[in-house]
Structure 1
Amino acid sequence: MATSRVSKHFLFQLIFLALIAFNRANGRSLTPDFYKHTCPNLVYTIKTVVDEVMSVAPTLGGPLMRMHFHDCFVRGCDGSVLLDTPNKTEKYAIPNLSIRGFQIIDKVKSAVEKVCPGIVSCADVLAAVARDVTVALNGPSWEVEFGRRDGRVSTVNEALANLLSPFANISTLKQGFQAKGLSVKDLVVLSGGHTVGTSHCAAFNNRLYNFTGKGIQNDDADPTLDYEYVPKLKSKCKFGDRNTLVEMDPGSFKTFDLSYFSLVAKRRGLFQSDAALLDDSETRAYVKLHALKDKAGFFKDFADSMIKMGRIGVLTGTQGEIRKVCTKVN
């Protein structure tokens, strides 16, 4: 029996290492110059559309940034989150119902198709848009790597299995990132993206009411949540409210800054997954470091982690396809 357990563990380790090696090998085939000759105006074309959108609808910045994250964590960065068959594809999974801005990706793709028809993948459009909205929100910039191709498969169940829940504890979060070849540091850095955007009450209402499940409604909040912050959240989210939108980083939810880490350090992170970052020595140290306003350090780390995330499970070469329309396969 013991030998069997050891063999299974060894097999799991081999599979895990092979997965990481595959991801890294694929990632190396991406390059910022991929479209240098085939679509030289790509970056300018995408940025022009994004800047126009952000000038009138800056609240779409957070969802558009996270759309790239939600794409990469399911089947890799292959644009599968964009496919649209009602009640069957990833975008209809519960974790993705809060993602907005799909029509903006369609708008960007249409602009790109006009200048470079059939050349640029929807997966690459997502990666570039994520960078451009971050910059538009006063966040860091980075050289986006290109060369991804689009997948042809998208299912609700895979999204449910791979996207990390706002209710996740630190062990689940670390395991989820490790499974994608990302580090504990990447976990904290990318969580910092919660500095922009909003959330529905459904994602954290359980922390405000009847947290222990004993049927106590008014005096049973999550003890890891600052007790002085609880009344403020309750004033916005009543018991059972699932739809009201609340700023994740109150006061600066349209600006990419370090406020998220200050909130988490004060036990005012909105989600249980935010609070969980204080439950591990490595993640807690990073939170406290950037709560002290190391802006340059965080911006560099965020850029590095976004590039790294953008390499997860990519399709390259002759794999997949270049979709003409992002919502459907060719």
Structure 2
Amino acid sequence: MAMATSVSKAMLLTAFVVAAALSTVSRAQSPLQVNFYSSSCPQAEATVRNVTEGIIVKDRTMGAAFMRLFFHDCFVRGCDASILLDPTSSNPQVEKKAITLRGYDAVNKIKAAVEAVCPGVVSCADILAFAARDTAVVSGGFTTFDMPSGRRDGVVSKLFDVLQNIPSPILKLPDLINNFAAKGLSVDDLVTLSAAHSFGQAHCSFFNGRLYPTVDPTMNATFADGLKMVCPPPGSSGGDPVVSNNGVTDPNVLSNQYYGNMGVGKVLFVSDQQLMTSNYTAAKVANNSEDAATWMGQFAAALVKLGSIQVLTGTAGQVRKYCNVVKS
């Protein structure tokens, strides 16, 4: 009984923090609206939620895939679903050529379900945003929260834009801060959203520099030894295997465990460990590690803020019928 009461209090606190944080965000921006499809497609969000949940329940690794697609889409040209566009004869070098991501077929499945109930109404950009929100609920145990919508789909996708905008996993803290600031995101947002690295997978090539030729002294030695069992030295014939971002607990759960891992040197990327290099960010890491409910509220608010970057609304862009091709 005591445990149930404790869980209920935590859920109430999380809901309160989410509501307060989102209220602050909504006052500061944007052309997006909560319940944008309430008249044009009242089933939109429920349809996305049901299909997204079904996909993640069937394959728990898909939660991280949905979250990563949303982040990469918003950071490149704004949240316009340009990350989903396939190459064409006139534009062979699109965003998805720049980095290996999963989940494209899953997004197409969600889009098909939405098109079945409301043809030509709901953008792929909003589907990515809803799926990211629903991932936090399914894979992170979050209380559901409002994700404003009304985004339109872009018609441009360029590989070069990815190289210019996506933060590298080897960036030092000042460069990470500048990279996020260029998108209107704060240092707090950087620390908060970095916890998306609490789940999912990464190729060894993204962090091999911390293992070879010598182990990064900020990495836990036992943790490094385990990684070297999977990740061969650069240039060897061992290829580029993948490992779980979270080698300490369940790699398919979005959680504040990321911050606890960081405190003991058990994170993969230079960009992760860099959050411990300033007093301010290290204090945020410690607070997030100790207070899951508050972190959840902050993550929800930061996810909404991320989703407002350079959005197309009104008559800008288009609403694609198929997420992988521009509507002619």
Give the TM-score of the pair, scaled to structure 1.
0.86
The size of the alignment, in residue pairs, is 295
- State the distance in 2 between where 1:281 and 1:185 align: 13
Residues 143, 85 of structure 1: alpha-carbon distance in 2 compared, 3 angstrom cutoff:
same
- State the distance in 1 between where 2:27 and 2:80 align: 16
Does residue 306 of structure 1 match 2:309?
no
- State the distance in 2 between where 1:242 and 1:69 align: 27
- State the distance in 1 between where 2:27 and 2:284 align: 29
Kept after mapping to 2: 8 A contact 1:202/1:242: no
Q: Which residue of 1 aligns with 2:224?
A: 230
- Give the secondary structure class of the aligned counterpart of 1:58: coil
Amino acid in the other structure paired with 1:225: M
Q: Where in structure 2 are the equivalents of 1:177-196 lying within 5 Å?
A: 177-196=180-199
Deviation at 1:27, TM superposition (A): 4.6
- State the distance in 2 between where 1:187 and 1:174 align: 7
- State the distance in 1 between where 2:293 and 2:57 align: 25
Q: Which residue of 2 aligns with 1:276?
A: 274
- Give the secondary structure class of the aligned counterpart of 2:282: helix
Amino acid in the other structure paired with 1:160: L
- State the distance in 2 between where 1:122 and 1:27 align: 21
- State the distance in 2 between where 1:32 and 1:246 align: 37
Q: Where in structure 2 are the equivalents of 1:164-313 lying within 5 Å?
A: 164-210=167-213, 220-240=214-234, 241-250=238-247, 251-292=249-290, 294-313=291-310
Structure 2 residue runs of 5 or longer lacking an equivalent are: 1-25
Cα displacement string for residues 258-309 of structure 1 (whole angstroms, at most 9, x for unaligned residues): 21000111122110000110112221111111222x1111000000000011
Q: Which residue of 1 aligns with 2:95?
A: 90
Amino acid in the other structure paired with 2:42: P
Q: Which residue of 2 aligns with 1:147?
A: 150
- State the distance in 2 between where 1:314 and 1:82 align: 16
- State the distance in 2 between where 1:71 and 1:238 align: 31
Kept after mapping to 2: 8 A contact 1:27/1:314: no
Cα displacement string for residues 6-26 of structure 1 (whole angstroms, at most 9, x for unaligned residues): xxxxxxxxxxxxxxxxxx999
Kept after mapping to 2: 8 A contact 1:26/1:311: no
Structure 1 residue runs of 5 or longer lacking an equivalent are: 1-23, 211-219
Residues 310, 242 of structure 1: alpha-carbon distance in 2 compared, 3 angstrom cutoff:
farther
Cα displacement string for residues 13-42 of structure 1 (whole angstroms, at most 9, x for unaligned residues): xxxxxxxxxxx9995221122100000001
- Give the secondary structure class of the aligned counterpart of 1:260: helix
Amino acid in the other structure paired with 1:164: P
- State the distance in 1 between where 2:149 and 2:180 align: 22
- Give the secondary structure class of the aligned counterpart of 1:74: helix
- Give the secondary structure class of the aligned counterpart of 2:202: strand
- State the distance in 2 between where 1:35 and 1:312 align: 20
Residues 308, 275 of structure 1: alpha-carbon distance in 2 compared, 3 angstrom cutoff:
same
- Give the secondary structure class of the aligned counterpart of 2:221: coil
Supply the RMSD in Å over aligned alpha carbons: 1.7
- State the distance in 2 between where 1:277 and 1:55 align: 32
